[in-house]
Structure 1
Amino acid sequence: MRFQDKIVLVMGGNSGMGLASARAFAAEGAKVHLTGRNQQTIDDAVAQIPGAKGYSADIADIAASEAVVSAIEAEDGRIDVLFINAGVGGFAPLRDITPDSWDLTHSINLKGCVFALQKAVRLMGKGGSIVVTGSIGAHASLPGNGVYAAAKGGLYAVMKVFAGELVSEGIRLNMVSPGPIDTPLLYRNPGMTDEAIAGLKEKMIANVPMHRMGESDEVAKAVLFLASDDASFITAANLYVDGGMLELR
């Protein structure tokens, strides 16, 4: 029970990798708080996790993140583990990128994550652990992925800086960077038909040395490792969970 009596906040914990991680934290003794944008999926997630608290909050809304942190402060007084998992995808080649699509992706995947961390870290202290979801898309050249890659690449850069700032406070900050994971996010790519999504999955699998997509529970295991004392001498790391896709390409 690596997280017995720990207070854990999973931002973007209502589906996919976030939900799998929230369930796993609770199974190891944590009290879990989770956020999401869809109230129905939040309610469904909370129903699966004994003692969990759910909050409707868009990570792009900085005031909403502050409200969640203030609610946890009033109830528990601290956050021991923070997992920032909220994010959106979307593919568009250079000629199809719009200012609005750029701003939307960056407001969630970069700006929102940075300010959510800023708000939450005030409730963290020595022994605290932060894990942020990155992506191998930040490190690979995938046509049509420019906007997403820029946001996740920026997130990787600033998280290394923040890890250096927090290390003297005894707070560790690491990143987990998934490859192709079969999550609901894959099926919510704006402008992509079912046929296009199926083609994208086929192309992803063809490029994975393990010849399959990953599962949310496999990412959750990596998240819990980095968040736990098993990783007590690890900070500023970026752990690829991608079936060898990046390093064996």
Structure 2
Amino acid sequence: MSRKLENKIAVVTGGSSGIGLVTARLFAEEGALVYITGRRKAELEQAADSIAHATPVQVDSSHPEQLARLMAQVEAEHGHIDVLFANAGGGSLKPLGAITEADYDDIFGRNVKGSLFTVQTALPLLADHASVILTGSIAGSIGQPGCSIYSASKAALRAFVRNWILDVKDRGIRFNVLSPGATHTPALLELAGPEASAQQALLKRMSSLIPLGRVAAPEEIARAALFLASDDASFVNGSELFVDGGQAQI
């Protein structure tokens, strides 16, 4: 049986840990040649060592000149991109009244500016009928305390894809948002601090909000990304795919 991404060129930003790393590994297992990016060199190289046919490129996606260097390398080595997973991002939580300009610039720089210029810089390299996936979040659709800036940044990604499918409709490129719920990643556990008891309490509290009664494993998000990347989703365009155990639907 042929693999879903056989001989495809895939770029995964934010691929050194968590959802990005697990997805990059799955893409490679499905036959893709994968480029992964991250801001921290040692962590990035360690991640690449765990993925077959992976090329690490140190990039901060909020800096367009670094994205340009990444795309120039992909062009020189392969000439095109079949799958672009704009996954890099993140942010902190602060309630209204405590938000600083630096908080805004950091979160919108990583999630909105980074995603925009990742896609725009890659656009000349995207093959016709390529798949572009943006990592959103259920935070873009539901309210949570202290989450307004992060939520707004993820909601912006949903607006991006609605418009981009019209901007490049003559090329058949598909744009979709993949919106996870709470997922068992290092980034999630960091919200609780270093204590194992606090981390377990956070997981228990988040699980209580999810109809399926648990947080997601990164592999579950990765399989949804593979669906959107592959020909299985050949008529899925401009959509938001929630992988959240039902949390955003209640």
TM-score after normalising by structure 1: 0.95
- State the 1:163 CA deviation: 2.0
Q: Residue in 1 aligned with 2:90? A: 88
Q: Residue in 1 aligned with 2:155? A: 153
Q: Residue in 1 aligned with 2:141? A: 139
- State the 1:109 CA deviation: 0.5
Letter in 2 for 1:137: A
Q: Distance in 1 between matches of 2:129 and 2:209?
A: 38
Preserved CA contact (<8 Å) 2:133 2:229? yes
- State the 1:198 CA deviation: 4.8
Preserved CA contact (<8 Å) 1:89 1:185? no
User: Once structures 1 and 2 are overlaid, which stretch shifts more, 225-234 or 196-205?
Assistant: 196-205
Q: Distance in 2 between matches of 1:230 and 1:73?
A: 26
Q: Distance in 1 between matches of 2:53 and 2:208?
A: 41
Q: Distance in 1 between matches of 2:105 and 2:200?
A: 27
- Is 1:162 the equivalent of 2:164? yes
Letter in 2 for 1:163: I
User: Once structures 1 and 2 are overlaid, which stretch shifts more, 193-202 or 113-122?
Assistant: 193-202
- State the 1:193 CA deviation: 6.9
Structure 1: which 5+ residue stretches go unaligned?
A: none
The share of aligned pairs that are identical, in percent, is 38
Structure 2: which 5+ residue stretches go unaligned?
A: none
Q: Residue in 2 aligned with 1:108? A: 110
- Is 1:5 the equivalent of 2:7? yes
- Supply the RMSD in Å over aligned alpha carbons: 1.5
User: Once structures 1 and 2 are overlaid, which stretch shifts more, 201-210 or 225-234?
Assistant: 201-210
Preserved CA contact (<8 Å) 1:163 1:174? no
User: Once structures 1 and 2 are overlaid, which stretch shifts more, 223-232 or 39-48?
Assistant: 39-48
- Equivalent of 2:121 in 119, 122, 125: 119
Letter in 1 for 2:132: I
Cα distance per residue 1:73-98 (max 9 Å; x no partner): 01111101100100113111101111
SS of residue paired to 2:247: coil
Q: Residue in 1 aligned with 2:217? A: 215
Letter in 1 for 2:246: G
Q: Relative to structure 1, is the Cα distance of residues 163 and 200 closer, same or farther in structure 2, using a 3 angstrom cutoff?
A: farther
Point out 4+ residue stretches in structure 1 off by more than 2 angstroms.
191-203
Q: Distance in 2 between matches of 1:197 and 1:143?
A: 18
Letter in 2 for 1:46: A
- State the 1:192 CA deviation: 5.7
Q: Distance in 1 between matches of 2:67 and 2:86?
A: 11
Preserved CA contact (<8 Å) 1:89 1:186? no
Q: Residue in 2 aligned with 1:47? A: 49
SS of residue paired to 1:88: coil
SS of residue paired to 1:208: coil
- State the 1:41 CA deviation: 1.6
Q: Distance in 1 between matches of 2:55 and 2:174?
A: 24
- State the 1:8 CA deviation: 0.4
Q: Distance in 1 between matches of 2:42 and 2:194?
A: 24
SS of residue paired to 1:177: strand
